Amino acid sequence: MAEALSPADRSSLAAEQGPVNMSVGGLLVFEAGPGLGYDAVVERVSERLHLLPRYRQRLRSPAPGIANPTWIDDEDFDLGRHVRVATLPEPGDDERLGEFAGHELSRRLDRSRPLWELTIIEGLQGGRTAILARMHHALVDGVAAVDIGTVLLDPSPEPLALPPPEDWEPRRYDRIQHLARLSLGPLERARRLPWEDRLRGLADPRRTAEELRRATDDLRSATEVALELARTRPQAPPTPLNDGIGPNRSYATARLDLDALKTVAKPRGATVNDAVLAIVTGMLRRYLVAAGTPLQPPPVALVPVSVRQAGDEGGNRISTVLVELPVDEEDPVARLEAVHRRTRALKDSAAVRAGALLVGATGWAPPLMSVALARSLGGVRAFNLVVSNVPGPQQPFYLNGERLLEVYPAVPLNPANQGLSVGVLSYDGGVYAGLLADRDLHPPLAAAGQAFSDAAAELLAAA
């Protein structure tokens, strides 16, 4: 039994070259309690694994370098190898928590096992316990990661009873049958083509005309996509964020109030996402000035956009757009309005369709070619940083009765000339930002984190 990876999922595997680590992270901070002990967490995950089938699957390729990898059930699955415990050194503050998360996010996940890991972090100040969840980007995108969190968590202190329909048994993988199925695929398609052509020839002429019209529309759309892809190729301006990365990471967090962001955004017709981008713009303005870098031409943010449809599960369902950030604008409200104008112009445009192609571009070829394409795309500085804002649930959630207080995402650095990413997640009235950076970034991540907090305070004061 083998399940194919999507083009975008294969793309994220191919991108993991050199210093690039494609682990997606989430730092969940809870009220401390017995429900967050090792045995209790393992039991909870075990009870819900039937809702997360990918969590018991690993990668396997029947012919490495020739056939694409697939998901197969891990016959040696051991839940205990995916849940760990660590204790922070004193004083257990947010800075120590960020240091620990940065160290863990520097490690690649083992591809010989299911591509996820949970680390229970004890010793936090204020009677708190954290869990650092790491998953490979091939396993989930940001929205699916939120879905996984809500599967493991409960909307009330009393855990929901979600028993598995039956005991799990791994499905046996037969490499010979898999190779045979792959070899027969092209022959079967070739056999069907003549019959399909004849059937089309017997079709109703009106239907044929409608198909021709749709084909013409598709061609026009494809032309728009091609033009948009061409527009995305010019290089973004050089900044200290794009000097290349090493294998090690640093991590910092910041928290905001959701209602406060809505208060400053809504009267101006802007969205919370616009307000987040305006704060990032203010952060970059301060950071670039401190680094002695010109503010023109403007830096460019790659902003993922979910194109997930109802019923889609797991995998990657995202597009991307490139947004120029007006860092030369001194006034924080004017920055917000400028960002809003740019994002509004991009919505429902060819940019979104082009981004969907770009996300999956390196998954449309055998693995050896995918690696080459990933390296090729990595050599183009199309953007300066990634800003990913994912809406989360606006109600409290619990794990074994312990309340979830804060959630901070971590977005991988990719390609190798991207030294900073900003992940943002809204949850229960708060907006939580996780800044992931190359450990050798200069000015360091601490400067960017302080600039983010200052820019947020400046924008909110303008409300």
Measured CA to CA, the distance from residue 20 to residue 245 in angstroms comes to 8
Domain residue limits, the chain: 235-389+431-461
Residue 352, pLDDT > 80, answer: no
pLDDT of 2-44, one tens digit each?
A: 787 877 788 888 889 899 999 988 999 999 999 999 999 999 9
Measured CA to CA, the distance from residue 64 to residue 111 in angstroms comes to 13
Residue pair 333/272 in contact (Cβ under 8 Å)? The answer is no
Residue pair 414/249 in contact (Cβ under 8 Å)? The answer is no
pLDDT at 409: 94
pLDDT of 111-138, one tens digit each?
A: 999 999 999 999 999 999 999 999 998 8
Angle at which helices 367-378 and 7-15 cross, to 10°: 70
pLDDT of 397-432, one tens digit each?
A: 999 999 999 999 999 998 889 999 999 999 999 999
Side chain identity, residue 103: H
List 82, 103, 136, 137, catalytic entry: 137
Express as a percent the part of the chain with pLDDT over 70: 72
Residue 217, pLDDT > 60, answer: no
Overall fold of domain 235-389+431-461:
Chloramphenicol Acetyltransferase (3.30.559)
Residue 222, pLDDT > 90, answer: no
Residue 147, pLDDT > 90, answer: no
Work out whether strand 249-257 and strand 300-306 pair parallel, antiparallel, or are unpaired.
unpaired
Measured CA to CA, the distance from residue 369 to residue 69 in angstroms comes to 13
Work out whether strand 116-124 and strand 128-136 pair parallel, antiparallel, or are unpaired.
antiparallel
Residue 180, pLDDT > 80, answer: no
pLDDT at 322: 84
Q: Mean per-residue pLDDT for 177-206?
A: 43
pLDDT at 374: 52
Pick the more confident residue, 142 or 48: 48
Residue pair 250/441 in contact (Cβ under 8 Å)? The answer is yes
pLDDT at 102: 97
Pick the more confident residue, 342 or 169: 342
pLDDT at 91: 93
Average of per-residue pLDDT values in the chain: 81
pLDDT of 296-325, one tens digit each?
A: 999 999 887 655 555 555 554 566 778 899
Taking every pair of C-alpha atoms in the chain, what is the biggest distance, in angstroms?
77
Is 137 noted as a catalytic residue in this protein? yes
pLDDT at 167: 77
pLDDT at 162: 81
Among 72-86, 153-167, 364-378, 437-451, which is the least confidently predicted range?
Answer: 364-378
Express as a percent the part of the chain with pLDDT over 90: 54
Measured CA to CA, the distance from residue 450 to residue 286 in angstroms comes to 9
pLDDT of 15-26, one tens digit each?
A: 898 999 999 889
The pLDDT confidence band at residue 223, using thresholds 50, 70 and 90, is very low
Q: Which two tokens stand for residue 271?
A: 């969205």
Residue 179, pLDDT > 50, answer: no
pTM of the model: 0.82
Residue pair 316/9 in contact (Cβ under 8 Å)? The answer is yes
Residue 443: CB partners within 8 Å, gap ≥ 6? 240, 287, 290, 291
